[in-house]
Chain A
Amino acid sequence: MAQSSGTQAHTHTETQTHTHTETHTETQTHPLSTYLWIWGWLFVLSTMSYMVDIFQLQGLLRWSLILIFMMLKAGLIVAIFMHVKWERLALTFVILAPPIFVLVFTALMVAESDYTHATREVFLP
Chain B
Amino acid sequence: MTASNETLNGSGLKTFVADWSSDQRSFKNVPWAKAMMWIFLVSDTFIFGCFLIGYMTVRMSTIEPWPNASEVFALEIAGHHLPLILIAIMTFILISSSGTMAMAVMSGYKKDRKTTTILLLITAAFGASFVGMQAFEWTKLISEGVRPWGNPFGAPQFGSVFFMVTGFHGAHVTIGVIAILNIARKVWKGDYDTGKKGFFTSQPGRYETVEVLGLYWHFVDLVWVFIFALFYLW
Contacts and interface: CB of A to CB of B under 8 A. Distances in A.
Contacts of B11: 88-89
Contacts of A67: 229
B215 A82 contact: yes
Contacts of A9: none
A46 B227 CA distance: 13
Given A43-B92, A117-B61, A88 B49 contact: no
Nearest to A56: B70
Contact of A90 (B27, B92, B102): B27
Residue with the highest number of chain B CB atoms closer than 10 Å, among A52, A53, A62, A81: A81
B159 to A, nearest CB: 19
Given A73-B225, A74-B222, A102-B53, A39 B20 contact: no
Contact of B226 (A43, A70, A105, A117): A70
Interface size bucket, B side? 35 or more
Nearest to A103: B49
**Chain B at the A interface: SS class:** helix
B208 to A, nearest CB: 7
B132 interface: no
A109 to B, nearest CB: 5
Given A102-B45, A109-B56, A49 B229 contact: yes
B169 interface: no
Nearest to B43: A98
A88 B22 CA distance: 15
A105 B49 contact: yes
Contact of B99 (A19, A23, A27, A35): A35
Interface in A19-39: 19, 22-24, 26-30, 32, 35-36, 38-39
B60 A113 contact: yes
Given A29-B106, A66-B234, A81-B218, A102 B15 contact: no
B99 A89 contact: no
Given A50-B88, A81-B102, A95-B38, A89 B15 contact: yes
Interface in B1-48: 1, 5, 8-9, 11-13, 15-16, 19-20, 26-31, 35, 38-39, 41-42, 45-46
Interface string B91-135: 110011011011101100110000000000000000000000000
A29 B110 CA distance: 8
Interface string A44-59: 0010011011101000
Given A39-B98, A77-B218, A81-B218, 18 more contacts: A22-B9, A22-B29, A36-B99, A43-B95, A46-B91, A49-B228, A50-B84, A53-B83, A70-B230, A77-B221, A78-B222, A80-B102, A88-B11, A88-B19, A91-B38, A102-B46, A102-B53, A114-B60
